[in-house]
Amino acid sequence: MNGRAWKNMASSDANLLSLITASRPGAAPTLLRSALPVVVIVALAVMAQVVLKGLLGGYYADLAITIGVNIVLAVSLTIVNGFTGQFSMGHAGFLAVGGYVSGAVTYYFSLTQWGSAAAAGGRLSGMPLSTEGLAWLGAGDVLFPVALLIGGLVSALLGLAVGLPSLRLRGDYLAIVTLGFGEIIRVVIQQSGPALKTPEAAEQAGVLGMATGLGGALGFGGLPKYTSLFWVVLFAGLTMLVAYRIKTSTSGRAMLSVREDEIAAEAMGVNTTRTKVWAFVIAAFFAGIAGGLYAHKLGVALGPVDAGFQRSFDIIIMVVLGGLGSISGAALAAVVVTMLPEYLRAVADYRMIIFALALILMMILRPKGLLGVREVWDADLWRGLFRRGKSAKGGGK
User: Whose Cβ is closer to other proteins: residue 6's or residue 115's?
Assistant: 6
Cα separation of 166 and 143, whole Å? Answer: 35
Q: Which is nearer to other proteins, 197 or 386 (CB)?
A: 386
The answer to whether 317 and 359 have CB atoms below 8 angstroms apart is yes
- Rounded least distance, CB 391 to other proteins, Å: 13
Residues 6+ apart with CB under 8 A from 265: 254, 257, 258, 272, 275
Instruction: Name the residue among 143, 79, 71, 132 with its Cα closest to residue 106.
Output: 143
- Report the nearest approach of other proteins to the CB of residue 54 (Å): 34
Instruction: Tell me how far apart the alpha carbons of residues 164 and 229 are, in angstroms, rounded to a whole number.
Output: 36
Q: How far is the CB of 207 from other proteins (least distance, A)?
A: 22
Q: How far is the CB of 3 from other proteins (least distance, A)?
A: 9
CA distances, 80 to each of 56, 76, 248, 273, 374 (Å): 34, 7, 15, 13, 16
> Between residues 37 and 199, which has the closer beta carbon with respect to other proteins?
37
Q: How far is the CB of 60 from other proteins (least distance, A)?
A: 28
Q: Which is nearer to other proteins, 203 or 261 (CB)?
A: 261
Pinpoint the alpha helices (H) of the chain: 3-11, 16-22, 27-47, 53-77, 91-114, 140-167, 173-190, 199-212, 229-247, 250-260, 262-267, 272-295, 309-322, 327-343, 345-349, 351-365, 379-396
At its nearest, how many Å lie between other proteins and the CB of residue 115?
34
| Residue with smaller CB distance to other proteins, 23 or 130 | 23
Residue 152 CB partners (closer than 8 Å, separation 6+): 98, 102, 285, 286, 288, 289, 292
Tell me 51's DSSP state. Answer: I
Cβ closer to other proteins: 155 or 166? 166
Q: Which CB atom, from 29 or from 58, has the smaller least distance to other proteins? A: 29
Minimum distance of other proteins from residue 74's CB (angstroms) = 15
Q: Which of 52, 66, 51 is nearest to 299 (CA)?
A: 66
